[in-house]
Amino acid sequence: MSCGILSLAVTACGSGEDTGAQGGEARPRGSAASGAPERELTKIPGVGDRLQNRIPGASRQVVAVYGEGRDSAKATVVLFTKQGRTWEKTRSWPAHNGKKGWTDSHREGDKRSPVGVFTLSDAGGVLPDPGARLPYSASASFQAPHYWAKSHWHDFDYVIAIDYNRVKGTSPGDPTRPEGQSKGGSIWLHMDHGSGTSACVSLSKSGMRHLLRTLDPEQHPVVVMGDKARLAA
Chain segment 113-126, per-residue pLDDT in tens: 999 999 999 999 99
* pLDDT the model gives residue 132: 98
- Say if residues 46 and 228 touch (Cβ distance below 8 Å): yes
- Say if residues 211 and 160 touch (Cβ distance below 8 Å): yes
Give the predicted TM-score (pTM) of the model. Answer: 0.86
* pLDDT the model gives residue 40: 84
> How is 174-222 classified by DSSP, letter by letter?
----TT-GGG----EEEE--SS-BSS-EEE-HHHHHHHHHH--GGG--E
Measured between alpha carbons, how far is residue 193 from residues 49, 50, 144, 154, 204 in Å?
Answer: 33, 32, 12, 8, 8
* pLDDT the model gives residue 10: 35
* pLDDT the model gives residue 54: 98
Partner residues linked to 150 by β-bridges: none
In the predicted model, residues of the chain with pLDDT beneath 70 are 1-38
* pLDDT the model gives residue 198: 95
* pLDDT the model gives residue 3: 59
* pLDDT the model gives residue 9: 39
Return the DSSP state at 123.
Answer: E
pLDDT tens figures, 58-108: 999 999 999 999 999 999 999 999 999 999 999 999 999 999 999 999 999
Amino acid at 190: H
* pLDDT the model gives residue 28: 40
- Say if residues 14 and 197 touch (Cβ distance below 8 Å): yes
